[in-house]
Structure 1
């Protein structure tokens, strides 16, 4: 049976506790990274992005343009830094562009 709390709690605290209790953080991280990529890269890159997948600390991004893939490969460290700043924690350590 679920625990009941008698004191009032903000919904953000309740959701954080629920995510922690049910071990849902890995799934939430995948969604957060996908959203951060879309927000940071803009429409130009998103039009050529076919798949975004987080496995461990590596972000795999499938692109349909070889030219764009080559261009983004020069700034991998900057992209990692931008995504981690957007997420406010060090989640992504490497990016693999394919």
Structure 2
């Protein structure tokens, strides 16, 4: 093992240096979103994207928007836990 640490750390540093870490984090975050919110919400999600530490979610059901808004904090914490770092600061539901 090199004195720079595990291979994952070296790869993460390399990705950050070339500016790819944010895109990879977004891809992983969107995969985690599907897993965290479940099938019903995923089916009614019309748009989901991540920008400036905010996860934007657009749903086609007013009832599900309300339900998701009640669970925002829990979803944010679960996503950050799955990502292994604090990446989501806010969730914006439309």
TM interval, shorter chain, is: 0.7 to 0.9
Q: How far apart are the structure 1 equivalents of 2:88 and 2:10?
A: 26
RMSD: 1.6
Give CA deviations for 1:3-42 in whole Å, capped at 9, x if unaligned: xxxxxxx875664344123111111121111011011112
Residue 74 (str. 1) matches residue 89 (str. 2)? no
Q: Structure 1 segments of 4 or more deviating over 6 A?
A: none
- How far residue 50 of structure 1 moved from its aligned partner, in angstroms, is 1.2
Could you list the runs of 5+ residues in structure 1 that have no partner in the other structure?
1-9
Map 1:25-44; keep pairs closer than 5 Å.
25-44=21-40
- How many residue pairs were aligned? 89
Report if the CA contact (8 A) 2:12-2:21 is conserved.
no
TM-score w.r.t. structure 1 length?
0.80
Q: TM-score, normalising length from structure 2? A: 0.83
Which has the higher Rg, Structure 1 or Structure 2? 1
Alpha-carbon deviations, 1:23-66, whole Å to 9, x = none?
A: 11111121111011011112111000111111111110011111
